[in-house]
């Protein structure tokens, strides 16, 4: 059963990224469409899959993580404007029967991602 999940790890403070707004967009040649607007829980994960087995399909997608708001709330001093505000990850799903896990490891100054399981 295919699905799309994510989680956020705050590498600057050594904890899950709790309360981060995460938007999921489906990308089309004529523009992107917002599919889901969610927030991470206390463990840095969304409460439910961003796409479940009935919603997932092949194509290009974007996750947008609103990280500057989170880091401000954590008491981190950020430049104005912040170096990283909203982090956009564009990726493709080629096989909708598989689980796609797209985590974000983030600090106010850097981030990385990978295809998890």
Domain 3-113 in CATH 2.60.40.180? The answer is: yes
What integer pLDDT is reported at residue 83 of this predicted model?
A: 98
What value does the mean pLDDT take over residues 20-37? 97
What is the pLDDT confidence band of residue 111, given thresholds at 50, 70 and 90? very high
What integer pLDDT is reported at residue 1 of this predicted model?
A: 83
What integer pLDDT is reported at residue 98 of this predicted model?
A: 96
What is the pLDDT confidence band of residue 117, given thresholds at 50, 70 and 90? confident
What integer pLDDT is reported at residue 55 of this predicted model?
A: 96
> How far apart are the C-alpha atoms of 31 and 63, rounded to whole Å?
15
35 upstream amide cis, omega within 30 of 0: no
Decide: helix, strand or coil at residue 71: helix
Decide: helix, strand or coil at residue 76: coil
Task: Tell me the per-residue pLDDT of 32-53, one tens digit each, with 9 for 90 and over.
Answer: 999 999 999 999 999 999 999 9
Predicted structure pTM score: 0.96
What is the pLDDT confidence band of residue 92, given thresholds at 50, 70 and 90? very high
For the chain, the structural domain boundaries read 3-113
What value does the mean pLDDT take over residues 58-71? 98
């Amino acid at each position: 059963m295919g699905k799309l999940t994510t989680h956020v790890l705050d590498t600057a403070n050594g904890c899950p990224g709790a309360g981060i707004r995460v938007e999921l967009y489906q990308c089309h040649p004529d523009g992107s469409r917002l599919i889901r607007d969610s927030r991470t829980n206390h463990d840095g994960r969304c409460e439910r899959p961003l796409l479940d087995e009935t919603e997932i399909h092949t194509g290009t997608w974007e996750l947008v993580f609103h990280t500057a708001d989170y880091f401000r709330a954590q008491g981190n001093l950020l430049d104005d404007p912040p170096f990283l505000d909203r982090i956009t990850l564009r990726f493709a799903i080629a096989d909708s029967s598989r689980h796609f896990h797209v985590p974000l490891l983030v600090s106010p100054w850097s981030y990385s991602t990978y295809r998890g399981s």
